Amino acid sequence: MPTPENHSKKRLILGSTSPYRRELLARLGIAFDVERPEVDETPQPGEKPAALAMRLALAKAREVARHHPEAVVIGSDQVADLDGEPLGKPGNHERAVDQLRRMSGQTVVFQTAVAVVCLSSGFEQSDLAAVQVAFRTLTEAEIEHYLRTEQPYDCAGSAKSEGLGIALLERIENDDPTALVGLPLIRTCRMIRAAGVPIL
């Protein structure tokens, strides 16, 4: 039989099937479930990368919360911003090669949005972490070797900074160190605490 303390804890759901976000949230040592949000991620005409990331993070959290109104739901989305153009997940080798060629020698802003929603309490907050990433000037051989080795086809911008992708970069500038991996945990912790989920 659950104790009154356990019974009062809100259920936490990660509205994402990303293994990267799941691993990051697991670092907090709190129980959570995972559910796939059914959200169309197609950018709207003229939509800027930051606006796209925020819209999708909120849409994912709201969609899962609709099925679990008592739960606290986290939604997140990341869009690579190359001079105002959104770059999403490449999905295959050819598109990943194209993305890395275009980002070579450039500074790309990875816009990582997080939203927390609880319908029963009316709680809804969202925030955006913008991470500036300076890419080295990459050779064709480096691009090919990296992609064949790591196959980051499910990552916005085709680069995994937590793995070999760090070798593609000159520098990273951010205020939330996990944001580039896919879930800004400092912001996430702040919002789920405010929604009634204790962490410490």
> Catalytic amino acids?
77
Q: Are 115 and 194 in contact (CB under 8 A)?
A: no
Helices marked H in 68-131 — which ranges? 93-103
Q: Are 88 and 80 in contact (CB under 8 A)?
A: yes
How far apart are the C-alpha atoms of 40 and 60, rounded to whole Å?
A: 9
Integer-rounded Cα radius of gyration of the chain: 18
Which residues fall within 8 angstroms of residue 6, CB to CB, at 6 or more apart? none
**Opening angle at CA 58, ends 98 and 76, nearest 5:** 50
Angle at which helices 140-150 and 93-103 cross, to 10°: 130
Q: Tokens at residue 184, please?
A: 């800004």
How far apart are the C-alpha atoms of 62 and 47, rounded to whole Å?
A: 20
Which residues fall within 8 angstroms of residue 172, CB to CB, at 6 or more apart? 131, 132, 133, 134, 161, 180
